[in-house]
Amino acid sequence: MMEMALNNHTYYEERYRRIKALWLAVFVRAARDYALWKEEKRDIEKRKLADEAKRFIFDVTSGFSDMCTTFDLPLERLQEWADTLTRAEVRKIEMLERCERVKRLPPEVQQHLLDDEE
């Protein structure tokens, strides 16, 4: 009986961790959209992305603050990070993510991608 309780506990911890990671991914995507497009003047669609991201991160009715409370995340700190994130920082993050994804590929595929960049 104790083993089953531990398995259930582990199961729910893992589910909690995955849901938290998903919410954080949504937040990071919103912060990126906001940083990339908040200054956009010409492309209305990109500007709309920034406006939606801003509402999600900063509007108390969006549910973001509730998500932070649920997962014990520092709301003000995340908002501050999103507000000060720059386009250059977003580009660095994207480049690092691409490099990490490439590292997970088989060596022959990595080499093929590197050959294409030259």
Neighbours of 46 (CB within 10 A): 16
The per-residue pLDDT for range 29-65, each reduced to its tens digit, is 999 999 999 999 999 999 999 999 999 999 999 999 9
The per-residue pLDDT for range 11-21, each reduced to its tens digit, is 888 888 899 99
Instruction: Note whether 82 and 57 are within 8 A (CB).
Output: yes
Q: Is the dihedral of CA 9, 15, 17, 19 positive or negative?
A: negative
Q: What is the pTM of this model?
A: 0.74
Give the separation between CA 56 and CA 34, rounded to whole angstroms: 10
Q: Is the dihedral of CA 60, 32, 99, 89 positive or negative?
A: negative
